[in-house]
Structures are given as C-alpha cells and as structure tokens.
Structure 1
C-alpha cells in the first residue's frame, strides 16, 4: 500500500510584499495576514518518536505550503525517509497525489503513468507535530497564553527572533479545538489524559511571524498489540522551520494523463 504521506507542491520562490510589523497585533494575526491566495511559505519538518526506550532516526520533510482565503489550501512535500530520492506527495483539497519516480515491481503502474492519486481528507494545516497549529489562530493564541519565558534568540530566515516557551495541557488545547484527538484510537483527550502537556517553543521575528516551532509531547500507547513491557505512551518531538513567508506559490495537480487512481491498481 502506498504510504499516505502528504508532500508540498513545486512552486516559485518569489517573496511577496512584506507585512509591516507595526500593523500586526500578534503572531496569530500576522500569520492570518499571510493566508492569501497565491502565496505560501517554505517548511522543513523534522520529527522523532521514542518507542521501547529508543528514539527514531528520521530525515526531514521539505516543501512548500500554499495559502488561500484564510487557510492552507495545498501542500507539496518531499519526505526523505523512504527511498534514495525521497517520496513526493502533492495534496490539494481532498485529493492527494504521490509520485512514483522509480518503477515499483511490487505495484507496477500502467504505461505512461508516474503519479498515483487518492481521495482522502487532506490535513491541510501548518503545524509543528500533531497539536501545535500555527494556522489556527485560536490554538496559537491559547499556546502563547501559556508562555513562561521569553528571551532573545537566534537568526532564522535572516531575521533576529525572540524565543517564547512554555507548556499547554491537552485539555486547554481541546477547549479551543474540539476536534483534537490523541492516541492510536483517536480519542478525545479527556479523563486522565486531560492533564498531559505539550511542551513548546516558538521563535518569533519582529514582524511577529514564526520562523521556528518546536514541540514535544506524549501520546497514549493504547493499541491492542502493546506488550506487557512496553511503556503506556510514546514520546514525540517535532521541529518545524519556516522561511520565505509571502513567497508566490502555485501548487497544481499533475497532468491527468500522467496519473492513475489507486483504486484502479491491482495489489
């Protein structure tokens, strides 16, 4: 089965008009001003997971995110954790496309076809990890309200930043986003899980745009296959770098004559 990895689309790297820092109220407002048609941001996402006491070794996911009318509308990402050249996926609306750069003898494509298309609810969000959403203003403001420290930090995307850090509970996140779910069983974070926390750090420029977002949290390991000596949770860490805010982005689907629907392939 082809992995349902969402990747970001090829686009032009032309930086759009800057947003004046003195007109921006807060980081949530600054990001919302960026979510306009034809523009986007470059990302590099690094993620790790600890299972059985060992941290996974992963490579970054790179690409661009396209915006439109106050939300994320498309992504084109390359995941370098599978295959020598990585795996490229484009996601537009509810449809995803995965590029088969090399022939797969276990699942050959029809002649002339290089993309496999799927229909699924694409997760078109700008996030660090599962829960630290930058494109949802209510979530970002709730996160920033739990700031416990601020200090001058490094330069990212050519911009000097201020580091904000703190932690927020699952219950606090669920309050502003009732669709939030956790664990393998995709359950609401209630009961004993309500007090579990997401530790976070945000590197924010003078223009109030986030240039780096880091988060770490644990998820309940409530799968039926869990062995007796396994920890009852997994630990995750995610580090998202953002650059070229306002760049021009035009994410298009592959040509129709180069694609084949996954349902039409023979397993």
Structure 2
C-alpha cells in the first residue's frame, strides 16, 4: 500500500530504558498493546484509507476561458449603420498541455469558431491555429471589399462567442458554446454547441454511448421541447414533414441529466427561436446503459 512509503513520518513507539529498544513481542501485555500499539495501528489504517481514497478520486481538470478579439473600421460606437467589422471570441481551453483533453477540446472549440466565421466551411475539416487565422483574414477582407464597393451602405459585421462549463467532475467534462453572427441580411444568426468528453482519455461521449434507445429519448425530448415552446404550438406551429422533430446536434451530460440545446431552424422556423432544457437521469433511468446507471443514484 502506498501509505507505507511515508512510514518514516509516523509517530514512533516510546523506547524502553531497559534491555533493547522495544520490548520483545512475547513481552507485550494487554496494557502495553492498548496504550501504544492499538493507536498506532488505527492511525496507519486511516492514513492508508485516506491516501487510497485520494488516489482513486478523479480530480476536475482546470478549464480556462481564452479570448480572440479583432476590430476593423469605425468601431468606436458600432451600430448596424456603421462600417465596422469585429470578432469577439471567448472559448474553453485546458490549462495543461499534457492532459488528454487538451487537443480534443481545442479542436472542438476551433471548429465552432470556424463555423461562425464561415458557415460554408466543411464540417469535417478541423481547423488549427493557422487555418483559423486564415478565416479571420478572409472575414475582414470580405468586409473591406464590401465597404470599398458600396461606400454609402451600412456595413456592420460582428461575430461573437461565449463558453460555459456544464460538468467537470474528473470523469466527464461537458462544455457548451453559444455564438452570434451578423453580416447583413434580415436577422443575425445564432449557433449553439455542446459536447461531453471522457476526462481520462479525451474521447467524445455521444448520446449513443449513454442511452440504449435514441428513438425513445427523442420522444421524451419532444415533450420537453413542446413545454419549452408552448406558445409557438398554441399559435399553430407543429412538427410535420417539413419540420420533423429530431434530437439536437448540441447535447451534453450534466450532473443532473442530459442537456439539450436547439438552434433556430433546427426543428422549427427562425421565429420560434432556440430552446434549452435538461432531461433528468431519473426520468430516463430505463434508457441508460449500465455504465451510466449510477448517475440515477447520485
């Protein structure tokens, strides 16, 4: 046991002034045992138990928020009428270069930011620092060309993101990001993303890893969505072949259950807006795979 490595720091038995340092084992009577040996054994037991528990308890990873910001044009008081292009990114990062979560979290965050800068970028292309910088340059070049071609027209381009930690218990890291972009048009665009990672390996945890029946989960999620967007359904909206209900692209584990986030246009028109909710583990306990059943007890 690891605690015996620290045995030299344990309190020592008193030394006898008579023969030798310690009394021979056959000479230990009940009084000596109760006075000296028993307390020492109890101390060793609890020291070992505490050390073992500390070694077995996963520790949360240190997650920090990083920022990427840049402006171009008349951005002192940006309004839809001004000629300003600005990017304000806040994104999660692991503050440990050797941690298995470092690269997966970075790539996930970079992909999200890339989709905000260029919604047409292929989803399978995972950006790095260099390619993300190219997207930055393209974004500002596009704005500059617009201002030069239409000097009298308003040209307000803005892209923003924020990040949130949903769960960080040393076993699972769950993150969410929300994004906003406006580059002209009838309305801005809103994007939501969420993901869970195995904190020990960095592997992405999918809904199919947690739930045994995704169709059954979708039926429960639909009930929650209808409650969240009750007003839209009261006004006549309903799911149909043009707007079928599906599980969201943004979902993650929390301490209480499964977080789901729906973006505009994902299952309903833009006017219906976004929706976020958590389905408690206790409500889907029959759908959880064995590895996730303890979550119900917690």
Specify the TM-score bucket, using the shorter chain as the normaliser.
under 0.3
Whichever of the two has the greater Rg, that structure is 2
Q: Which structure: greater strand fraction?
A: 1
**TM-score, with length taken from structure 1:** 0.26
Q: Which has the higher contact order (CA 8 A, sep 6+)?
A: 1
Q: Which has the higher helix share?
A: 2
